[in-house]
Amino acid sequence: MLTQRRVAKARVGLFALLWLTGTWLMASLAQESVPADQPIVSDLKQLLQTRPDIQAALVESLVKADWNAVTTLEAYFGYLNEAVTRIPRADSLLKDAVAFYYLINQSDALRKSEPFQQWVIRFVQDWGGFLDTPASLAQIQSFYADPHYRMDDYFVGPGGWQNYNQFFAREVKPGKRPVDGRCDEAVIVSPADSVFLGTWPIADDASIEAKGVRHSITALLQGGAYADAFKGGVFTHAFLNVNDYHRFHTPAAGKVLEQQVILGKMDLEVQRHPDTGEIEPLDPVGYQFTQARGLLI
């Protein structure tokens, strides 16, 4: 009888040990199956923990956007973990870019939140860092296959492009962008492969009016010694698409007096097309005055 009890206890002990071992193993496997967050996603989680108002605004924006099932925080975190190392493809590059902004542009409170907008800047910088890696060029053939990119226009060095950012800043072949009136100082050449969208007169107070809103040229240039020189001039606006040649050229001969990168928001005006439901970019005049931008005078 004593031996039977000992055997029974041993069986119970063995069962308990196996159960605990199995439970631990399942928990370990479950932990291993969930990938760690990207650092930028962890930063957002920490921000939301300390700022419930920003969290509420983000949830509001996600629900209102109602895009691709990314309507909860958990779904959004998963989306971000993938997006920060997303490899650009010709057929999805613009869609991916506008989707990122569409998800977070549905709440005015979120767009005005300085801590959140600073996080957006860091996210874009992190993705830009990934685009400096060789892995970012894995889908380069998709751009060759898309006629909109006119890949024959561009020069490729002996070593080729080493990452997507090098490809994005690709150099045009000689003769592919002939300059009209090269020696005529009365001719102002388009500075880029952009679509011309309009002109606005600059008032004597160095401002323009667009859709009833006044915008300061002085603020656009972030002050500087030459801000007043544009009073009474003309403000022009043009749009570059993702497939366009992205180098800029001076529209007229002259001397560079000032150049700088002006820090600002990283934002994009987007909307959902009422008929197709597709998300598409807008390019109104106004957002440029607070956007991160480059200045060359």
12-26, 97-111, 174-188: segment of lowest average pLDDT: 12-26
Q: What integer pLDDT is reported at residue 289 of this predicted model?
A: 75
End position of a domain, from candidates 100, 115, 130? 130
Q: Average of pLDDT values for 103-132? A: 95
- What mean pLDDT, rounded, does the chain reach? 85
Residue 212 has, within 13 A of its CA and on its CB side, a CA count of 0
Residue 265 lies in a domain: yes
Q: Could you give the 3-state DSSP secondary structure of residue 234?
A: strand
Backbone φ, ψ for residue 199 (5° rounding): -130, 155
Q: Domains in the chain: how many in total?
A: 2
Give the residue numbers spanning the domain of 281.
195-239+255-296
**Token pair 């807008």: residue:** 282
- Distance (Å, rounded) from C-alpha 158 to C-alpha 207? 48
Q: Average of pLDDT values for 83-98? A: 95
Q: What integer pLDDT is reported at residue 161 of this predicted model?
A: 96
Chain segment 164-202, per-residue pLDDT in tens = 999 999 999 999 988 888 888 888 888 888 888 888 999
Q: Which is more confidently placed, 268 or 175?
A: 175
- What pTM was computed for the model? 0.82
End position of a domain, from candidates 82, 108, 130? 130
pLDDT-based confidence at 25, cuts 50/70/90? very low
Q: What integer pLDDT is reported at residue 96 of this predicted model?
A: 93
